């Protein structure tokens, strides 16, 4: 019994991170709903980040940002945020991993489409107007991508009317006892 437990624990320890790496990015929750704009900068006083932040603070630009159904992700000093709310270190690492970026200390601005693919990527200086132009040039099919629907469980059939003939009341089945493991 002890050997089986150790073997199972070892397999889970090795395979766990492999399964977790498949779909743990915060970008997955925006797929089909919004266009994430990701700014990765080495510091909070990065000139590219400051100029984009000032542009986004203007009411006209903010309205254009929301009209284009965009969401802002920032990774500054390896601290991630989504729309100003902190992401945990694991979510931040998953975000960076999902973008498949190479090593580099330069500031990167990335626009991801509703389909989850990169639509715009630029290092260093970038203007908000360039990002808006990239969104406006997307094909119509990407602009109208519907949000993925969550599968709903099938509706249960309605119980038969009282007094109907040939109907049985169903009782829930008793759970079966799991098989006992032999001792080693």
Q: How far apart are CA 75 and CA 44, in angstroms?
A: 9
Q: Are strands 118-123 and 35-41 parallel, antiparallel or unpaired?
A: unpaired
Query: How confident is the model over 74-93, as pLDDT tens digits?
Result: 888 888 888 888 888 888 88
Overall fold of domain 21-136: Glutaredoxin (3.40.30)
Residue the block writes with tokens 């829930």: 172
pTM above 0.75, yes or no: no
pLDDT of residue 153: 47
Q: Please report which confidence band the pLDDT of residue 102 belongs to, taking 50, 70 and 90 as the band edges.
A: low
Q: How far apart are CA 69 and CA 67, in angstroms?
A: 5
Query: How confident is the model over 13-72, as pLDDT tens digits?
Result: 554 554 444 457 777 887 888 888 888 888 888 888 888 889 888 998 889 888 888 888
Query: CA 148, 56, 89, 93 torsion: positive or negative?
Result: positive
Q: How far apart are CA 119 and CA 140, in angstroms?
A: 14
184 or 70, which is more confident? 70
Query: How confident is the model over 116-170, as pLDDT tens digits?
Result: 888 888 877 788 888 888 888 877 655 554 444 444 444 444 445 455 555 555 6
Q: How far apart are CA 57 and CA 157, in angstroms?
A: 53
Residue 16, judged by CB atoms within 10 A of its CB (0-12, 13-18, 19+), counts as: exposed
φ and ψ of 108, to 5 deg:
-130, 140
């Amino acid at each position: 019994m002890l050997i089986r437990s150790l073997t199972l624990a070892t397999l889970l320890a090795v395979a766990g991170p492999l399964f977790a790496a498949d779909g743990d990015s915060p970008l997955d929750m925006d797929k089909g709903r919004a266009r994430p704009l990701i700014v990765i900068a080495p510091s909070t006083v990065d000139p590219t980040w400051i100029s984009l932040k000032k542009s986004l603070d203007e009411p006209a630009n903010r309205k254009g940002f929301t009209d284009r159904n965009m969401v802002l992700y920032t990774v500054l000093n390896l601290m991630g945020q989504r729309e100003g709310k902190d992401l945990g270190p694991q979510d931040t690492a998953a975000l960076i991993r999902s973008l498949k970026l190479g090593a580099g200390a330069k500031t990167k601005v990335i626009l991801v489409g509703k389909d989850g693919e990169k639509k715009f990527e630029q290092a260093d200086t970038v203007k908000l107007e360039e990002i808006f132009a990239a969104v406006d040039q997307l094909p119509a099919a990407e602009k109208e991508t519907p949000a993925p629907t969550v599968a709903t469980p099938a509706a249960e059939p309605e119980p038969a009317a009282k007094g109907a003939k040939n109907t049985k009341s169903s009782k829930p089945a008793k759970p079966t006892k799991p098989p006992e493991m032999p001792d080693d």
